[in-house]
């Protein structure tokens, strides 16, 4: 699996993966992202800024993830420059069960290490037990549960060990 930064002209590809995941989750009665969250304009902005990464095997797109240097919405109390934040991790249904989320998280962890960020952090809707279990198996620890509007979000963190430790 190769994971590379999405190019600006690949925003539609990123949006397609996110929309496929959003539709699958919504069809199961568990809507997650709003149409605005996965709209091409927003994805284009984040792709132009270098935030999205695409996982591929050969030329087949398996999944995407957005990595942010700051997250003042979900982590306002965290010191600037101390973390890398994982957002919008999504896997195409054709790649389900093939370990793509773990490979994307491995990539995010390596990226945090390269950037000298001592923590990798993420959030998810608190009632997503399978997703939370994935993060916990990967090594994330529950930091806290916060409320934004009507929803509860579980915040997770993982200490990034420097190479050689």
Listed in sequence order, the DSSP H helices in 50-99 are none
Mean pLDDT of the chain: 94
The residue-averaged pLDDT of 123-130 equals: 92
Tens digit of pLDDT for each residue in 60-69?
999 999 999 9
For helices 11-27 and 40-48, what crossing angle results, to 10°? 130
Model confidence band, residue 49 (pLDDT cutoffs 50, 70, 90)? very high
The residue-averaged pLDDT of 126-132 equals: 91
Percent of the chain, pLDDT > 70? 99
The rounded distance, in Å, linking the Cα atoms of 93 and 88 is 15
**pLDDT computed for residue 164 by the predictor:** 62
Model confidence band, residue 161 (pLDDT cutoffs 50, 70, 90)? confident
User: What is the pTM assigned to this prediction?
Assistant: 0.94
The rounded distance, in Å, linking the Cα atoms of 71 and 17 is 22
The rounded distance, in Å, linking the Cα atoms of 74 and 159 is 18
**pLDDT computed for residue 11 by the predictor:** 98
User: Is pLDDT above 80 for 165?
Assistant: no
Query: Which pair of tokens denotes residue 68?
Result: 């942010």
Tens digit of pLDDT for each residue in 14-37?
999 999 999 888 887 777 788 788
CB 115 within 8 A of CB 142: no
């Amino acid at each position: 699996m190769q994971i590379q930064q999405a190019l600006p002209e690949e925003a539609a590809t990123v949006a397609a993966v996110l929309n496929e995941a959003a539709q699958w989750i919504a069809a199961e009665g568990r809507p997650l992202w709003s149409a605005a969250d996965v709209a091409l304009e927003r994805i284009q902005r984040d792709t132009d800024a270098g935030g999205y990464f695409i996982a591929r095997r050969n030329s087949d797109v398996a999944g995407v993830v957005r990595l942010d240097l700051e997250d003042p919405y979900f982590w306002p109390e965290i010191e600037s420059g101390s973390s890398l934040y994982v957002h919008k991790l999504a896997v195409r249904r054709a790649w389900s069960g093939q370990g793509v989320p773990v490979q994307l998280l491995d990539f995010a962890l390596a990226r945090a290490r390269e950037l000298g960020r001592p923590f990798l952090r993420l959030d998810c809707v608190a009632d997503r037990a399978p997703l939370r279990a994935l993060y916990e198996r990967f090594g994330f620890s529950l930091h806290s549960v916060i409320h934004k509007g009507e929803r509860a979000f579980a915040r997770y963190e993982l200490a990034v060990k420097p190479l050689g430790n």
